[in-house]
Structure 1
Amino acid sequence: MKSVSYKSYGAPDVLRLELRPTPKPKAKELQIRVHASAVTTADWRLRASDFPGGLWIIGRLMFGLFRPRKPILGMTFAGEVTEVGAGVTKFKVGQRVYGSSGGGAHAEYLTIAEDRAVAEMPESLEYSDAAAVPFGGLCALEFLRDVADLKQGQRILIIGATGGVGAYAIQIAKAKGAHVTAVCGGTSEELAQTLGADAVVNYHDTDPLTGKDTYDVVFDCVGASSFPKARKVLKPTGLYIPLNFGIREVWQLAMQSKTGGKRMKLHVNGDKPENLQELTTMMSEGTLKPVVDRVYDLIDVFEAHSRVQTRHARGTVVLSLG
């Protein structure tokens, strides 16, 4: 099978197109013919060994000290079930499915346990659309529903609101009845409004953390703020949630008051099948839609990684695997 692999950390040119053996499913596993896979910020950071906030050594210990432990990137997939292992009951050959693999999806085939974050695709979606949802959608859902406990009528400021996570955060926040202020570049203002933002701040013109408006939640999807700055626009019991965090935020969390007031929470989301099913339901009901920046052919994976690394993608960058 065709695949994209990397054997050392570095710029996009460390990626290689390779032919590798097609994996066979074990018991309780699916074999999936991958038609599309997202290129996410996680793929970029793993490929470049660019872990935020002084966490480089921890990242290397987790993912490979001297070279990558897992040579094939690709956190999300959309494709067709081509074979099932013994004991599989939830899926059958021929089903169109999508989900979160945690790696290995930048290849024509992958295998994944049936109890992982895999779901049948909504009939209306193309493969490239479906592959664009799991990474940002699962992250936004868990951060806003479980960490922020976002409620109807609350006000939320989303920084990086049209990126791979922010584009879904706008939609999920609106579905929960929140008032959404989206922070993005000037060329993305229309997209933010289309996704449902009530107000849009162009960060080239205005610093959203120095204004008079206050918020119940500040959700930073791109690492463009800090807790001390965000405190200025938080309500008295407001919550700051950074998607990217490092040693500085861990220290600030340890030092923050335990008696209430303005708070920060740190979280790393998982990939739960029930959460993916919730996103599937939202898409079927029309309250959530995929946001695709660009679709690249597999041979153009270098350009796809470079696009993600600019941090200016509008939605999710997707690889087409045919």
Structure 2
Amino acid sequence: MKAIVQDTYGPPEALRLEEIAPPEPGSGEVLIQVQAASVDPGVWHLTTGQPYLIRALGFGLRAPKARVRGMDVAGRVEAVGPDVTRFQPGDEVYGTCDGSFAEYACAKQDRLARKPGNTGFEEAAVVPVSGCTALQALRDVGRLRSGQSVLVIGAGGGVGTFAVQLAKHLGAAHVTGVCSGATADLIRSLGADEVIDYTLQDPTDGARRYDLILDIAGNRSLSGLRQALGPRGTLVLVGGEDGGKWFGGTGRLLRALLLSPFTGQRLRGFFSTQNHDDLRLLAELIEAGSMTPVIDRVFPLAEVPEVVGYLRSGDARGKIAVRV
């Protein structure tokens, strides 16, 4: 099968298209004939091996343990391994796996759900990582309640476009999205009550306070974010792209966790997981018209190295899909 492989950490050019043997499903796994995948910041981090902390977390100290990149996946079940009860060959599924930038990939059944019936494979493939991140950040960590005000910093990105829609679905009374002026109309169309162009206005200047703030892959200071947070509000740090090659955004996260017990504000960070129940819920919301995946561009599998570079440029609106 064709697959995007990587033997050394490095720039996106370290990724290359090769012919390799297809995987075989183990216990609790299904073999998927991949139709589409997508790219998120995690792909860039695993490609470059930065911040270096991720290498110590089990991904490989000197070289990647897994040769094939890609997490988000959508496709058809080709075969099932022992103890698989949820799916059978021919089912159209979506979710996450290790190595979705390939014609075939194995995934645990607990990290899959049936693909939304009203979307194509490309639309489904952009949902799992970013959709679950937005859902869990709002519902589980942010504890969003009906009638609250929400500020989404980074509303134009993959997680942000889902977060704006999910915040309204979960009952937020007022959702403010922070993005570039070029993305403002898109964010309004997704349900934002207000849009702030960060090039013209600082959303953390203290002019307004919010019950819940999602700072998505941002590098704003904790003091600035707290200034825009209500006295009993919750700040959720969803990733972070600042802090250097060694620790990335984890330094800011640790400072938030250490400070939180000494203030009335809840300062939180988290790492999302993908599971069957949340994927099934997201599929139901898409089928009901309550949530729409936003795709910036679709690339063929062979152009994944260029895709990773394009994502890093910050020019993408919503998600980037990969057609396999």
TM-score with structure 1 length normalisation?
0.94
Which letter does structure 2 place at the counterpart of 1:301? V
Match of 1:45 in 2: 45
Identical pairs, percent: 36
Please tell me whether residue 163 in structure 1 is matched to residue 157 in structure 2. yes
User: 2:138 & 2:35 partners in 1: Cα distance?
Assistant: 30
Which letter does structure 2 place at the counterpart of 1:202? D
Match of 2:259 among 255, 271, 278: 255
Residues 222 and 252, structure 2, Cα contact 8 Å, conserved in 1: no
Match of 2:68 in 1: 72
Match of 1:33 in 2: 33
Match of 1:126 in 2: 120
Match of 1:83 in 2: 79
Match of 1:173 in 2: 167
Q: Tell me the SS of whatever aligns to 1:106.
A: coil
User: 2:180 & 2:134 partners in 1: Cα distance?
Assistant: 20
Match of 2:204 in 1: 209
- Give how far 1:238 is off: 1.1
Structure 2 unaligned residues grouped into runs of 5+: 240-248
1:124-178 per-position Cα deviation (integer Å, ceiling 9, x unaligned): 1111000011111000001100001101111111011010100100010010121
1:240-259 per-position Cα deviation (integer Å, ceiling 9, x unaligned): 1111241233034213344x
User: 1:239 & 1:26 partners in 2: Cα distance?
Assistant: 41
Which letter does structure 2 place at the counterpart of 1:137? G
Residues 227 and 264, structure 1, Cα contact 8 Å, conserved in 2: no
Match of 2:145 in 1: 151
Residues 12 and 47, structure 1, Cα contact 8 Å, conserved in 2: yes
- Give how far 1:277 is off: 0.9
- Give how far 1:89 is off: 2.2
Structure 1 unaligned residues grouped into runs of 5+: none
User: 1:173 & 1:126 partners in 2: Cα distance?
Assistant: 24
Please tell me whether residue 59 in structure 1 is matched to residue 62 in structure 2. no
Residues 227 and 240, structure 1, Cα contact 8 Å, conserved in 2: no
Match of 1:6 in 2: 6
- Give how far 1:308 is off: 0.9
Which letter does structure 2 place at the counterpart of 1:146? D
Residues 81 and 95, structure 1, Cα contact 8 Å, conserved in 2: yes
User: 2:50 & 2:320 partners in 1: Cα distance?
Assistant: 19
- Give how far 1:39 is off: 0.8
User: 1:10 & 1:131 partners in 2: Cα distance?
Assistant: 25
Q: Tell me the SS of whatever aligns to 1:303.
A: helix
Which letter does structure 1 place at the counterpart of 2:104? Y
Match of 1:242 among 224, 237, 241: 237
- Give how far 1:111 is off: 1.2
User: 2:215 & 2:251 partners in 1: Cα distance?
Assistant: 17
Map 1:175-194 to 2 at 5 A: 175-178=169-172, 179-194=174-189
Residues 159 and 224, structure 1, Cα contact 8 Å, conserved in 2: no
Which letter does structure 2 place at the counterpart of 1:241? V
- Give how far 1:288 is off: 1.0
User: 1:24 & 1:59 partners in 2: Cα distance?
Assistant: 27
- Give how far 1:211 is off: 4.4
Which letter does structure 2 place at the counterpart of 1:144? L
Aligned length: 313
Residues 80 and 95, structure 1, Cα contact 8 Å, conserved in 2: yes
User: 1:50 & 1:313 partners in 2: Cα distance?
Assistant: 21
1:56-102 per-position Cα deviation (integer Å, ceiling 9, x unaligned): 2x21112111111111111110000111123322111111110111x
Which letter does structure 2 place at the counterpart of 1:283? I
Q: Tell me the SS of whatever aligns to 2:66.
A: coil
Match of 1:315 among 312, 315, 318: 318
Q: Tell me the SS of whatever aligns to 1:23.
A: coil
CA RMSD, 1 decimal: 1.3
After superposition, the Cα gap between the structure-2 partners of 1:303 and 1:229, relative to the gap in structure 1 and judged at 3 Å, is same
Which letter does structure 2 place at the counterpart of 1:214? R
Match of 1:289 among 267, 270, 292: 292
With 245-254 and 282-291 compared, the bigger mean Cα shift is at 245-254
Which letter does structure 1 place at the counterpart of 2:255? W
Match of 1:139 among 126, 129, 133: 133
Residues 4 and 17, structure 1, Cα contact 8 Å, conserved in 2: yes
- Give how far 1:193 is off: 0.5
After superposition, the Cα gap between the structure-2 partners of 1:93 and 1:204, relative to the gap in structure 1 and judged at 3 Å, is same
Q: Tell me the SS of whatever aligns to 1:301.
A: helix
Which letter does structure 1 place at the counterpart of 2:214? F
After superposition, the Cα gap between the structure-2 partners of 1:16 and 1:264, relative to the gap in structure 1 and judged at 3 Å, is same
